[in-house]
Amino acid sequence: MRLLVTGGAGFIGSAVVRLAISRGLEVVTVDALTYCGSRENLETVAYARGHSFIRADVTDRDAISDILARHQPDVVFHLAAETHVDRSIDDPLLFVRTNVLGTATLLECLRAYRDLLPGVRADALRLIHVSTDEVFGSLGADGCFDETSPYRPNSPYSASKAGADHLARAWGRTYGLPVVVTNCSNNYGPYQYPEKLIPVAILAAVEGRPIPVYGRGDNVRDWLFVEDHAEALLRVAEWGRPGETYCIGGGAETSNRALVEQICDQVDAALPGARRRDLITYIADRPGHDFRYAIDPAKMRDQLAWRPRTPLREGLARTIRWYLDNPDWWTRARARAAAGAPDAVEHARWVGGPSL
């Protein structure tokens, strides 16, 4: 089975690539290397047998068509996306371009590619369209999202992902494209770009800076360790049915306040000498902030025999240890963000490697 992973140098995408390579699968990684995508995320598998990297933008129809024709994947994981809610509030059209137009472009390229495949291969082709629980909007104190939940996005980010989901389903229904949609809860783990809550809290705690928490920290999220998510996506690729949706959750609900307090306590244990809870600083809430997300993963459990394996406390410990052990990675990630552009130096040092 040959995989193609769009956004494969990002946080979740690189976890999928690393796991697939570890299982002996062939992988073509496609990424535009914007501020949050880095080939450093693939350093452990960069020269692995069966892995190649191509720098391309998912909105570039000619490039994506050429990649499909040359590499002829059996499964395409679509993870190329802008994902940060705060950034979507500041620049919504960027999110529409990447998440909506990029998805439409990929769907059209895949449709043309599928039509050129022989019958058996065309029937076996799969597109795994990876989305978020945020498309369903906000929950109250009770209940969970599942595959039948209505779409009620509340931010430009979630609206753009909802639009992408609808396009994927429409191409499946209208053109018979073998699309499988997944909606996951909040991911965390190693290699997460340091703009999201958990790495922000870890690095602020390590550096003794104020740890920002929106509102009073009452918002609740269901946390999913990224390696568990990668395993779920490979399970969906192998056993998921075209036309179906699968909700992937971590079963680890907690408020933002309790989560940050747990991070502070674990950093205190790793780096004794300070009480990091004193650094927690409550700031003005962001517009349209959803109160609660939670996922019912029963379909994944019952039909695909998948369960999350990493408890939140263990996952946080592994994540904190990774950030403590890899200061060069997050220092360079911050530099890319400050520059507001891909890291040309980082890309240049890979010339002569497996990049095509």
Closest by CA to 347, choosing from 59, 103, 37, 108, is 37
> Any idea where the domains of the chain sit in the sequence?
2-192+224-251+292-310+340-348
Closest by CA to 123, choosing from 277, 241, 259, is 241
- In angstroms, rounded to a whole number, what is the distance separating the alpha carbons of residues 356 and 352? 9
The CATH number that domain 2-192+224-251+292-310+340-348 falls under is 3.40.50.720
Cβ neighbours around 327 below 10 Å, total: 11
SS3 341: coil
pLDDT value of position 335:
86
pLDDT value of position 340:
63
Average pLDDT per 10 consecutive residues for the chain, totaling 356 residues? 96 98 97 92 94 97 98 98 90 96 98 95 96 96 96 96 98 98 97 94 97 95 98 98 98 97 98 95 91 96 98 98 97 81 36 30
Residues classed as catalytic: 133-134, 157
| DSSP-H helix ranges across the chain | 11-22, 61-71, 85-90, 92-95, 102-116, 119-124, 156-175, 197-207, 226-239, 256-270, 298-304, 312-325, 327-339, 344-348
What are the strands of the beta sheet with 75-78, ordered from one edge?
51-55, 26-31, 2-6, 75-78, 126-132, 179-184, 245-248
pLDDT value of position 341:
47
pLDDT value of position 323:
98
